Structure 1
Amino acid sequence: MDVTALLLSRIQFAGTVSFHIIFPAFTVGLAAWLCVLEGVSLATDRPIYRRLFDFWRSIFAVAFAMGVVSGIVMAFEFGTNWSELSRRTGAIQGPLLGYESFTAFALEASFFGVMMFGRERLPRWFYFFACLMVALGTTLSSFWIMVNNSWMQWPTGFRVGADGVFVPTDWTAIMFNPVLLVRFPHMLLAAYVTSAFCIAATGAWHLLRGQFKAEARTMLGMALGLAAVLVPVQLFFGHLVGDYTHKYQPTKFAAIEARWHDEKPASEVLIGWPNERTESNDYAISVPYLGSLIGSMSLSSKEVGLKDFPKADRPPVVIPFLAFRAMVGCGLLMLAIAWLGGLRMLLGGIETRRWLLWSIFLSFPLGFVATLTGWFTAEVGRQPWTVYGQLRTVDAVTPFLRAPAVAATLMMFFLVYGAIFTFGTVYIYRLLKRGPVALPEPVPGETNPKRPLSIPGDSPGTQAEAQMTEAAE
């Protein structure tokens, strides 16, 4: 096996999945947000929620399409770069991905068009139902992906045949893996928090620009209130994920802590630089006893170090160590912003705290960074295994794969993905900038009022409509 081809294949898949996860991390939460807006609009009949729904629906459509396009490539990579993984685990991973198609994709394909184009053609209750089905579809898609990945993190319910093929023996154990029970809520909450901060940042941006004040205050209030509740819950589930890692993947846990030797009690390295050559930490700042408290909820427990394991079974240390601290740092920063911003919303006068509005606006990347670094921690920390403890990454790659072929496709993927990301981001920026413009008033006797053909927000008339509606509310 060409070692360079293996490395390039890992980089290619890491780049593909990192690009892809940005969009589900946004659209899963945004689909739920659209359901909330439509439900509140249906209950109160206030135009502001309708305007916000139409505004975010367009953004959801673009991000959803980019997520679908970027995710399809990974299925091909399983065949081109990781065919041995597909051959040996296909009896388990194939059905799980099939279940995603039968449930999540079926719901999204059936109701996405209804949500985008069916408002004026359907009863309002059915339109709301269609929105719920799209949100359910995005959630189910996340569920099946997490079932698949959690099985790879801690494989259960299988036996290995004589030819090395994994044969399922207990689908209940596979689908309700104990690891999944904490990892799926953790990922779902990450998507909700990421979307909440994007929505809050958009509201802060429009307040800083002095536009769409009624809609901006609504976005800020709803998003910050949601984040203030969900971020502490997310941190709690993050602790539970750490517990499973401590129990089932001790080498990953030791790498995250950059703990080289057994310690009793164990200290916690807050920051430093793991040196794998000397098997020590450079420039380390540590807190005594905290490592035992985090690992075992005890001040005196013994915590294992990386030297307890053969070098061939250890993961790289630098990436999990730094990525985990970046994830936790983003989480704590989001908690502070959500609570401070939520408190100021309750007390009133947030428009005059421009420093706070700027902080909220600049916080929009935090959810994405936390999600990406969380996945870096989980996936790099799992090495050198593809299926933990059962199938090594070096044995999962396609046999006879050569570096030049992988390098060519890697370069092509990065160019195409870069173009997609650039154009998609610019278009979403334009949608965010134009804001939630007021809808045209219905013509008496007309049951299906038509939307304007021009882009809303580009003419003084539509801007004046928004301001008049805002003043009326």
Structure 2
Amino acid sequence: MEMTALFLSRLQFAFTISFHIIFPAFTVGLAAWLTFLEALSLWTGRPLYRRLFDFWLKIFAVAFGLGVVTGIVMAFQFGTNWSELSLRTGPIQGPLLGYESFTAFALEASFFGVMMFGRSRVPRWLYLFACAMVTLGTSLSSFWIMVNNSWMQWPVGYEIDASGTFVPTDWWAIVFSPVAWVRFPHMILAAYLTTSFCVAATGAWYLIDRRLRVEGVAMVRLGLGMAAILVPVQLFFGHLTGDYVHDKQPAKFAAIEGRWNNEKPASEILIALPDEAAEKNRYEISIPYLGSIIGSMSLTAEEVGLKSFPVDERPPVLIPFFAFRIMVGCGLLMLALAWYGTWLGFEGKLPDRRWLNWCVFLSFPLGFIATLTGWFTAEVGRQPWAVYGVLRTADAVTPSLTVEQVAISFIAFGVIYTSIAVAGIVYLYRMLRAGPEETVHEIGEGANPKRPLAVPGGSPGTPRDFTE
């Protein structure tokens, strides 16, 4: 592939946003998890929930800071690499990103300090309120980003003036676009599921290590329990998102399906190797009729293929095709683990199923992988459009940009982001490895007084009393 300023700019943006999205995907759900723990602590009075809160609050602070730092670059790139996009869509995208500052950032800035340092300085109800406001702030940040991105996926409520600038004509249509209100819950649920499996995996790690048994059981049960409820809801919103793609972005839908020719009725391709040069699939395995059922809820509907679109208006096929299947596969794995683990939790058998704890521990990347592949499907599938159907990506890049300029900035971002990643991951690993502070435990749910626990400074398995 020819190295052009456009290609490198797209690759640089893909790299930086993929790196950045890892942290919001974790912290948006983690803020809600902390609010949930604080509410449980206030309601039940159990020290366990306070210990878990204090532990995860430290993780949240570090991950939140990493997310802020890695997100700053996003705004710069709109000016340096995508000035035409900024110039032409600024009257719409500018206010939407401004609303994020006025609402989300304002809430986070107002209450984050209370959440971090105010527990001993404010009433407990006010502290819980501060946690809830930080959760609302992180959710609002996601909302405005999704409104902005959804407008680029399906532009509404605008007109183009004589200079080629997109001018808003109906803010209600833009903000309350049905596409945004399907994609926003889909993204929020992805964040909650990512956090749920990170929490459960951390608890499983402690159970495998035979230490922090009470905290470990609580994290596994609560994490998998939340996931057991949220995964089916996420699958429902995923289906709604697929419906909008089917109706509004038929070329993307055909690429996701790997469908080259119009079919009536259409089969559903489970797996294949799309060959874009030959315009066909190799090693295809498909199920008859299922494609029409999924696409149109009909046994006889005709589904459009990629050959119905001009070559220069087709998205790349390989990335959306495989990314979508990886995302769905992660979702089904999470569903199986969450339901089976929750059932074992109700049976009281969860702590002693070592093989399942290993499965839960190894599941921690699933939410991140599903989130990233979902974004790859949405963004690569939108090509060749920056604003779907009206502004090509090639026309959105900064005209005077050179290959050398983008290469230098790309290398600089790569070095900086790699340094941040190494430092952040090592620090988070050490905190997760240490676990919640070793305090005298209560005999509670999942406790086993006969099971050896670790003591401060001791090795896993060192016996200790298990009393209040």
Gaps of 5+ in 2: 442-453
Query: Contact 2:455–2:462 (CA<8 Å) still a contact in 1?
Result: no
Query: Contact 1:37–1:50 (CA<8 Å) still a contact in 2?
Result: yes
Once the two structures are TM-superposed, the CA of residue 459 in structure 1 deviates from its matched residue by 4.3
Q: Identify if the C-alpha distance between structure 1 residues 3 and 415 changes in structure 2 by more than 3 Å, giving closer, same or farther.
A: closer
| SS of alignment partner, residue 369 of structure 2 | helix
| SS of alignment partner, residue 359 of structure 1 | helix
Distance across 2 between alignment mates of 1:87 and 1:79: 9
Q: Name the aligned partner's letter for residue 350 of structure 1.
A: L
Distance across 1 between alignment mates of 2:160 and 2:187: 30
Once the two structures are TM-superposed, the CA of residue 269 in structure 1 deviates from its matched residue by 1.0
Indicate yes or no: 2:23 matched with 1:53: no
Distance across 1 between alignment mates of 2:220 and 2:350: 10
Query: Contact 1:38–1:128 (CA<8 Å) still a contact in 2?
Result: yes
Find the counterpart in structure 1 of residue 271 from structure 2.
Answer: 271
| SS of alignment partner, residue 121 of structure 1 | coil
Find the counterpart in structure 2 of residue 447 from structure 1.
Answer: none
Query: Contact 1:438–1:462 (CA<8 Å) still a contact in 2?
Result: no
Indicate yes or no: 2:228 matched with 1:228: yes
Q: How many residues align?
A: 455
Find the counterpart in structure 2 of residue 460 from structure 1.
Answer: 457
Query: Contact 1:274–1:317 (CA<8 Å) still a contact in 2?
Result: yes
Q: Name the aligned partner's letter for residue 19 of structure 2.
A: F
1:287-327 deviation digits (Å, cap 9, x = unpaired) = 11111111011111100001111001000000000000000
Find the counterpart in structure 1 of residue 415 from structure 2.
Answer: 415
Find the counterpart in structure 1 of residue 74 from structure 2.
Answer: 74
1:122-155 deviation digits (Å, cap 9, x = unpaired) = 1111111111111110000000000000000000
Percent of aligned pairs sharing the same letter: 67
Query: Which residues of 2 match residues 4-403 of structure 1 at below 5 A?
Result: 4-403=4-403
Q: Name the aligned partner's letter for residue 134 of structure 1.
A: V
Distance across 2 between alignment mates of 1:327 and 1:125: 39
Query: Contact 2:211–2:461 (CA<8 Å) still a contact in 1?
Result: no
Find the counterpart in structure 1 of residue 426 from structure 2.
Answer: 426
Find the counterpart in structure 1 of residue 448 from structure 2.
Answer: none
Q: Identify if the C-alpha distance between structure 1 residues 254 and 398 changes in structure 2 by more than 3 Å, giving closer, same or farther.
A: same
Query: Contact 2:183–2:241 (CA<8 Å) still a contact in 1?
Result: yes
1:437-465 deviation digits (Å, cap 9, x = unpaired) = 14599xxxxxxxxxxxxxxx994399999
| SS of alignment partner, residue 460 of structure 1 | coil
Query: Contact 2:79–2:86 (CA<8 Å) still a contact in 1?
Result: yes
Distance across 1 between alignment mates of 2:437 and 2:276: 56
Query: Contact 1:157–1:173 (CA<8 Å) still a contact in 2?
Result: yes
Q: Name the aligned partner's letter for residue 460 of structure 1.
A: G
1:183-203 deviation digits (Å, cap 9, x = unpaired) = 000000000011000000001
Distance across 2 between alignment mates of 1:467 and 1:144: 50
Query: Contact 1:202–1:432 (CA<8 Å) still a contact in 2?
Result: yes
Q: Name the aligned partner's letter for residue 118 of structure 1.
A: G
Query: Contact 1:437–1:462 (CA<8 Å) still a contact in 2?
Result: no
Q: Identify if the C-alpha distance between structure 1 residues 336 and 400 changes in structure 2 by more than 3 Å, giving closer, same or farther.
A: same
Query: Contact 1:27–1:63 (CA<8 Å) still a contact in 2?
Result: yes
Query: Contact 1:272–1:283 (CA<8 Å) still a contact in 2?
Result: yes
Q: Identify if the C-alpha distance between structure 1 residues 158 and 271 changes in structure 2 by more than 3 Å, giving closer, same or farther.
A: same
Query: Contact 1:51–1:438 (CA<8 Å) still a contact in 2?
Result: no
Distance across 2 between alignment mates of 1:466 and 1:22: 38
Once the two structures are TM-superposed, the CA of residue 108 in structure 1 deviates from its matched residue by 0.7
Query: Contact 1:438–1:465 (CA<8 Å) still a contact in 2?
Result: no
Distance across 2 between alignment mates of 1:467 and 1:4: 64
| SS of alignment partner, residue 65 of structure 2 | helix
For the aligned residues, what is the CA RMSD? 1.9
1:382-438 deviation digits (Å, cap 9, x = unpaired) = 000000011000000001110011011101101110110111011111111111114
TM-score, normalized by length of structure 2? 0.95
Larger deviation, residues 49-58 vs 111-120: 111-120
1:147-199 deviation digits (Å, cap 9, x = unpaired) = 00000000000000000000000000000111011100000000001100000
Distance across 2 between alignment mates of 1:266 and 1:341: 37
Query: Contact 2:327–2:370 (CA<8 Å) still a contact in 1?
Result: yes
1:202-240 deviation digits (Å, cap 9, x = unpaired) = 010000101111111111111111100100110111000
Query: Contact 2:251–2:314 (CA<8 Å) still a contact in 1?
Result: yes
Q: Name the aligned partner's letter for residue 421 of structure 2.
A: F
| SS of alignment partner, residue 272 of structure 1 | strand
Distance across 1 between alignment mates of 2:248 and 2:340: 37
Gaps of 5+ in 1: 442-456
Distance across 2 between alignment mates of 1:30 and 1:71: 18
